[in-house]
């Protein structure tokens, strides 16, 4: 049966070589770099425990106590009362992220950022200049360590899915290479929960079926998976066979620019969700401006605890890259367009599409004086982020915002 199934599987034949580079405990590691006295101590980057703060990042010492990102700061302090809590400096982290991106782009122009601390790189066309994909991955790790005093974990594979799993397998400071003929041997022993889209509800179904590894899932017929999970069944089937044909798309070529985050624990607190939305919006807006793009359609993506995923979208009167305009649209969708009674949220995403690179002036939600002021604020913030980074310029409603107690 297994051999017959293998014969029916379309083999993923790709000459592409993809890197997934993921910075280790990025925010906390930057703070440790700036203050060596923090090294070896549990460090939490996030809001205060006295109100509605949320953990933006935790170093590996803090994680030993069960602390993780998106956790309420009060709970984090109860788990690790001796932790050192630091207020986030998102724009400073963004300036460091820009330095990391500069290193990437010295090896390939095909860089697809996922957030401030991770990106996909297609290095297929770079091997003749810099050596094998594995050698390029090692060089990037070494450059980041030597020039920025930070560590990155790198996964190398023929597609995005396998590369991303590989980068997480031996964190921190991991380096895993998966050749095309090693994909099944690499994936088969891993827990089925490693597949993108397998959450608590789907995982419970697999547990009832006694499907605990990707290898066991791979033995299931496609028809059975689609019967159980609908269109998602084919998605799981392809991933279990190591099939992922998505290409690396740089921002400048993308039809949309988006960012999302999956929380370690489901979040019901609207103020915490709003704080995370601010960071997502700021990162998307910054990427738009970096490539002289504006977007007209704004989309919010939400995945609930039961794994139901919905999207909400708004079409603006004119394309924009103004952070405040994008944020106002995102907050409206988050607070007014979700079901009135919904489960806690597992994933939050924000994106902009219908991109316009014409450079025409925008007249949008603000009147002209306010619009000019917002554009100038964004311009100055971007300059500081790219050139200086030491000044913490960010919105008061961001992750460090604690005043939303009600």
Q: Which residues are catalytic?
A: 118
252 forms beta bridges with none
Q: Please choose, from the candidates 160, 156, 233, 174, the residue with its C-alpha nearest in 3D space to the C-alpha of residue 25.
A: 174
* Contact partners, residue 3, CB within 8 Å, separation at least 6: none
Q: Please choose, from the candidates 137, 5, 143, 30, the residue with its C-alpha nearest in 3D space to the C-alpha of residue 90.
A: 30
Q: What is the DSSP string of 246-280?
A: PPP--GGG-SEEEEEEEEEEEE--HHHHHHHHHHH
- Based on its alpha-carbon atoms, the radius of gyration of the chain, rounded to whole angstroms, reads 22
Q: How many angstroms separate the CA atoms of 244 and 166, rounded?
A: 14
Torsion of CA 321, 269, 53, 350, to 10 degrees: -20
Q: Beta 256-267 vs 345-356: how paired, if at all?
A: antiparallel
In the block, which residue shows the tokens 């219908």? 354
Length of the chain (residues): 406
Q: How many angstroms separate the CA atoms of 119 and 248, rounded?
A: 10
Q: How many angstroms separate the CA atoms of 274 and 399, rounded?
A: 8
Rounded to the nearest 5 degrees, what angle is found at the Cα of 97, between the Cα atoms of 96 and 102? 95
Task: Please classify residue 161 by burial: count the beta carbons closer than 10 Å to its beta carbon, then call 0-12 exposed, 13-18 middle and 19+ buried.
Answer: buried
Q: Hey, what are 193's tokens?
A: 């929960």
Report the phi/psi class of residue 210: left, alpha or beta, with left for phi > 0 and alpha for psi in -120 to 50.
Answer: left
Q: How many angstroms separate the CA atoms of 172 and 145, rounded?
A: 13
Q: How many angstroms separate the CA atoms of 169 and 175, rounded?
A: 8
């Amino acid at each position: 049966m297994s051999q017959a199934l293998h014969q029916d599987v379309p083999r993923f034949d790709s000459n592409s070589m993809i890197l997934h580079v993921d910075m280790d405990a990025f925010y906390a590691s930057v703070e440790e770099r700036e203050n060596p006295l923090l090294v070896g101590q549990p460090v939490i980057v996030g809001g205060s425990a006295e109100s509605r703060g949320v953990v933006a990042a935790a170093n590996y010492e803090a994680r030993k106590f069960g602390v993780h990102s998106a956790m309420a700061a009060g709970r984090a302090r109860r788990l690790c009362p001796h932790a050192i809590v630091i207020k986030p400096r998102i724009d400073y982290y963004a300036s460091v992220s820009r330095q990391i991106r500069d290193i990437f782009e010295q090896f390939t122009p095909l860089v697809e950022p996922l957030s401030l601390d991770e990106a996909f790189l297609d290095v297929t066309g770079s091997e003749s200049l810099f050596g094998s994909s594995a050698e390029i991955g090692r060089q990037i790790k070494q450059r980041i360590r030597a020039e920025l005093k930070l560590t990155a974990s790198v996964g190398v594979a023929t597609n995005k899915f396998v590369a991303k799993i590989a980068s997480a397998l031996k964190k921190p400071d991991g380096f895993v290479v998966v050749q095309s003929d090693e994909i099944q041997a690499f994936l088969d022993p891993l827990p089925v929960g490693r597949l993108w889209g397998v959450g608590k509800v789907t995982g419970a179904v697999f547990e009832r079926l006694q499907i605990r590894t990707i290898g066991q899932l791979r033995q299931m017929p496609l028809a059975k998976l689609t019967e159980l999970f609908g269109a998602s069944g084919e998605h799981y089937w392809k991933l279990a066979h190591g099939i992922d044909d998505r290409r690396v798309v740089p921002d400048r070529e993308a039809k949309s620019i988006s960012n999302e985050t999956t929380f370690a624990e489901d979040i019901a607190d609207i103020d915490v969700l709003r704080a995370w939305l601010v960071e997502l919006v700021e990162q998307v807006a910054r990427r738009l401006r970096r490539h002289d793009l504006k977007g007209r359609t704004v989309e919010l993506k939400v995945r609930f605890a039961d794994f139901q995923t919905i999207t909400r979208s708004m079409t603006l009167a004119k394309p924009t890259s103004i952070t405040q305009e994008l944020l106002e649209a995102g907050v409206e969708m988050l607070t007014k367009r979700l079901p009135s009674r919904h489960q806690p949220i597992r994933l939050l995403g924000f994106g902009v599409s219908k991109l316009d690179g014409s450079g025409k002036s925008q007249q949008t939600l603000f009147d002209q004086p306010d619009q000019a002021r917002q554009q100038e604020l964004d311009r100055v913030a971007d300059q500081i982020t790219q050139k200086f980074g030491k000044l913490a310029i960010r919105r008061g409603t961001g992750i460090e915002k604690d005043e939303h107690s009600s």
